Every structure is written in C-alpha cells, then in structure tokens.
C-alpha cells in the first residue's frame, strides 16, 4: 500500500497554542478552562521557563500533568545541529508543526551566551545579499515559536550540553531569519516573555536584547512608544538612497533620512545607543566617500556602527571587502568620532549567516 502523499505535504498553518503565547492572565484562564486551579499556571510556567528537565513535572501530579499537557505542545523538532568553535557555536535547524524550517544560533562566549533567533520563516524584504531574502516569506512565527528557540538553547546550556559548564542564555538578538518589525505584535510579545521575570517569562535583561530591522518606520515609531528598553539595530548598509534602494529595497518606501529620524527617535526616548549594521561589500558600498557620508549622517548621535564583512551567499557575485579597504572604512568613521567595530564572523563555517542552513535543506 502506498501512503497518501498528503502525509509529507507541509500544511502552512497556525502553530498550536502554547503557554508562551499567553500572558499570565491568559495562562490562568487557559488552565482553568482545562479543569485545573488557576495557580497551576504559575507551576506550569516555572517548568517551562524555569528549566526543569523535560517531562519531569512531579509537583503537578499525574492528573494535572495530563490535563495541562495541551498547553505545552511541541513547537519545534530538531532536524539538525551543526557546531564549530569547539562546540561553543551551535546552529540549530528546527521543523515546526507544519514542516516549516527555522534556524537559530547559540554563541557562547566567556562572559555571555547569545541566541540569534528567527522571527519569520523566510523573509519578504528581498535584500539581494541575504540568503533568507532570496526565498521570500513563508510565514510569520508565533510568539511561542520565537520564545521556544531561546528556551531550548537555555535548556541545553543548563544541562551542560555546551562546553564551558552549565550556563544560561544572557543575550538574545533578532538577527536570524525574517524581519522582526514585519511580525510586530508577536515579536513584541516574545520580547516581553523573554524578559519578564520567572514565572511570567525567562528573566533575560531587556538591555541584553537586540531587535534588528531593515527600517519599517511606522513599526519603529510604535516600538518607541512600547516602553521597552531593548537595543535597536538598523540595517543601513548604505548612507545614500541611490545605493540603499538596491541593497535594502524597502528604502524606496522609507528612505535613509526618514529611517534615521525614526531610529534616533527611538534612542532619544529609550536612551539606548542605536546600532547601525553595515555589511561591507567589495566595490559596492565600501568606498571612502561612503564612509565619510555615513559619518556625516551619524555625527553627534548616540550611535555605534557595526561593520559586518559580507558573508557571500551561494551563487552570488558579491564578496566581502578586502581587509585594507575595511580598515580604511573603519579609520574614516573613527576619525569622525563614530564608535565603530567590525563584527566577528563566528559560525561562518557552519553557514551561520542568515538562512543558509535552511537553504541547504
């Protein structure tokens, strides 16, 4: 007998409802709706966020455990793990309930452990140098699917699966697949879940969360009013509209001047330093005059430039800038008084940049 093909066909749909999708009030209601006392919501939350080993919820008792199981459905199934840097960098490829593939990366440093999470499966922003941008958008991730990437990494660290002894996730960056500001409400809810103290959430400091965006101005304005203290990263990649229109197509809608205005509005309100992301692409955006123009646009602001050597995507003609060109770019920015660093390129050998592992699958 041949199995009907429909078993393999991914259904693109809404992920099952999970505890991490819900506020504390909603969790209480959900627990009561399943026939348990409201205080069980906190117990269940402690188990999920507080890092007890999977499946061991002995203080709940077998009946409550069974009744409440629907609130902790499996959201992400591990498809593949790839590590480098002696195991301290790990890329996870996950499969969601509908077959959708999602990536996250865990990077352990001596003083912190950072998870790079995806906010969407695929991306609709179509930046030509980005692997995720090439395939288009599949769907938004749910709050639970975003949070679970961090919770799973946190469990690995606690269980001592990552070299360096037991640890915790200290930092989260929204720099995996997707455009966080295009999945606004779920991303903001995920940030709250990640930063609310246990049992409401995972208890990570808001200051240790970075939300990176191509620059959707209305969403940046909304985030400014949100009262969060996360760091905003703006993927600028060019200081002039002519070039940015091609590298970050959404620039045709919200040009450089407008996006910088919105981003600086965020820093004014929050007091958080703006991070400017700038992938240096050989012969495309790395000219000395563009460094000068970038410096001019940023002068006097609470800002930090993060230069990223381009990670060439398969089949692309583009490459990273030569080191002397990179050094000159850095020199000019610093000379103009702009704090500038070059991002380390961890995870390159495991296709750690933006959509490359999912693209291989």
**Among all residues, which ones are annotated catalytic?**
103, 354
From 121-129, 152-160, 187-195, 221-229, give the range in contact with ligand SAH by CB under 6 A: 121-129
Binder among 104, 113, 171, 213 for ligand SAH (CB under 6 A)? 213
Supply the minimum distance, in Å, between the C-beta of residue 213 and ligand SAH. 5
Coil, strand or helix: which one is 252?
Answer: helix
- Pair 187, 211: CB distance under 8 Å: yes
The two tokens of residue 268 are: 């004014």
Q: Omega of the bond prior to 44 within 30 degrees of 0, cis?
A: no
Binder among 141, 250, 274, 354 for ligand SAH (CB under 6 A)? 354
The two tokens of residue 228 are: 């969060």
Binder among 151, 219, 310, 351 for ligand SAH (CB under 6 A)? 310
Supply the minimum distance, in Å, between the C-beta of residue 223 and ligand SAH. 13
Measured from the CB atom, the residue of 208 and 311 that comes closer to ligand SAH is 311
Binder among 308, 333, 350, 358 for ligand SAH (CB under 6 A)? 308
What count of other Cβ atoms lies within 10 Å of the Cβ of residue 213? 26
Give 320's DSSP letter: B
Binder among 231, 251, 311, 340 for ligand SAH (CB under 6 A)? 311
Q: Where are the beta strands (DSSP E) in 215-330?
A: 231-235, 274-280, 303-309
Measured from the CB atom, the residue of 44 and 233 that comes closer to ligand SAH is 233
Supply the minimum distance, in Å, between the C-beta of residue 65 and ligand SAH. 38
From 46-54, 77-85, 153-161, 310-318, give the range in contact with ligand SAH by CB under 6 A: 310-318
Q: Is 30 in the site for ligand SAH (CB under 6 A)?
A: no
Sign of CA dihedral 268, 191, 123, 316: positive
The site string for ligand SAH over 259-278 (x = CB under 6 A, - otherwise) reads ------------------x-
Q: How far apart are CA 55 and CA 69, in angstroms?
A: 10
The two tokens of residue 167 are: 């640890």
Q: Is 121 in the site for ligand SAH (CB under 6 A)?
A: no
- Pair 154, 202: CB distance under 8 Å: yes
Measured from the CB atom, the residue of 213 and 285 that comes closer to ligand SAH is 213
- Pair 141, 187: CB distance under 8 Å: no
Measured from the CB atom, the residue of 63 and 252 that comes closer to ligand SAH is 252
Q: Omega of the bond prior to 199 within 30 degrees of 0, cis?
A: yes
Task: Find the distance separating the first CA and the last CA of the chain, reported in whole Å.
Answer: 28
Coil, strand or helix: which one is 274?
Answer: strand
Binder among 48, 49, 129, 184 for ligand SAH (CB under 6 A)? 129
The two tokens of residue 353 are: 């940049």
Supply the minimum distance, in Å, between the C-beta of residue 356 and ligand SAH. 8
Q: Tokens 């995806």 — which residue?
A: 118
- Pair 164, 112: CB distance under 8 Å: no
Q: Is 179 in the site for ligand SAH (CB under 6 A)?
A: yes
Measured from the CB atom, the residue of 144 and 215 that comes closer to ligand SAH is 215
Binder among 44, 130, 151, 262 for ligand SAH (CB under 6 A)? 130
- Pair 106, 113: CB distance under 8 Å: yes
Size of the site for ligand SAH (CB under 6 A): 18
Residues facing 82 on adjacent strands: 91
Binder among 68, 175, 230, 330 for ligand SAH (CB under 6 A)? 175
Residue length, the chain?
361
Give 350's DSSP letter: G
Question: Which is nearest to 72 in space by CA: 51, 96, 48?
Answer: 48
Supply the minimum distance, in Å, between the C-beta of residue 140 and ligand SAH. 13
Supply the minimum distance, in Å, between the C-beta of residue 173 and ligand SAH. 8
Residues near ligand SAH (CB under 6 A) are: 125, 127, 129-130, 175, 179, 212-214, 235, 277, 279, 308, 310-311, 313, 353-354
């Amino acid at each position: 007998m041949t199995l009907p093909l429909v078993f393999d066909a991914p259904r693109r749909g809404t992920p099952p409802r999970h505890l991490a999708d819900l506020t504390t009030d909603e969790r209480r209601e959900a627990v009561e709706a399943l026939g348990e006392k409201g205080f069980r919501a906190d117990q269940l939350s402690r188990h999920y966020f507080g890092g007890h080993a999977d499946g061991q919820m002995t203080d709940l008792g077998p009946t409550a455990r069974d009744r409440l199981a629907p609130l902790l459905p499996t959201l992400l199934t591990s498809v593949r793990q790839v590590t480098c840097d002696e195991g301290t960098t790990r890329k996870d490829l996950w499969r969601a309930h509908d077959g959708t593939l999602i990536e996250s990366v865990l990077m352990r440093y001596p003083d912190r452990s950072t998870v790079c999470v995806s906010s969407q499966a695929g991306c609709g922003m179509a930046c030509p140098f980005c692997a995720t941008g090439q395939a288009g958008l599949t769907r938004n991730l749910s709050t639970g699917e975003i949070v679970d990437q961090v919770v799973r990494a946190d469990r690995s660290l606690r269980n001592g699966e990552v070299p360096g002894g037991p640890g915790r996730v200290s930092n989260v960056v929204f720099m995996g697949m997707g455009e966080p500001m295009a999945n606004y409400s779920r991303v903001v809810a995920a940030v709250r879940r990640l930063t609310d103290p246990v049992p409401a959430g995972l208890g990570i400091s808001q200051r240790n969360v970075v939300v990176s965006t191509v620059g959707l101005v209305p969403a940046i304005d909304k985030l400014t009013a949100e009262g969060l203290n996360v760091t905003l990263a703006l993927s600028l990649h060019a200081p002039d509209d002519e070039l940015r229109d091609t590298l970050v197509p959404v620039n045709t809608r919200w040009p450089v001047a407008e996006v910088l205005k919105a981003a600086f509005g965020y820093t004014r309100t929050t007091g958080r330093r703006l991070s400017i992301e700038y992938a240096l692409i050989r012969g495309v955006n790395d000219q000395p005059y563009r460094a000068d123009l970038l410096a001019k646009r940023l002068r006097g602001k609470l800002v930090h430039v993060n230069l990223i050597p381009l990670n060439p995507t398969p089949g692309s003609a583009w490459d990273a800038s030569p080191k002397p060109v990179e050094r000159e770019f850095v020199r000019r920015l610093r000379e103009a008084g702009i704090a500038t660093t070059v991002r380390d390129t961890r995870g390159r050998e495991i296709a750690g940049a933006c959509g490359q592992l999912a693209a291989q699958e």
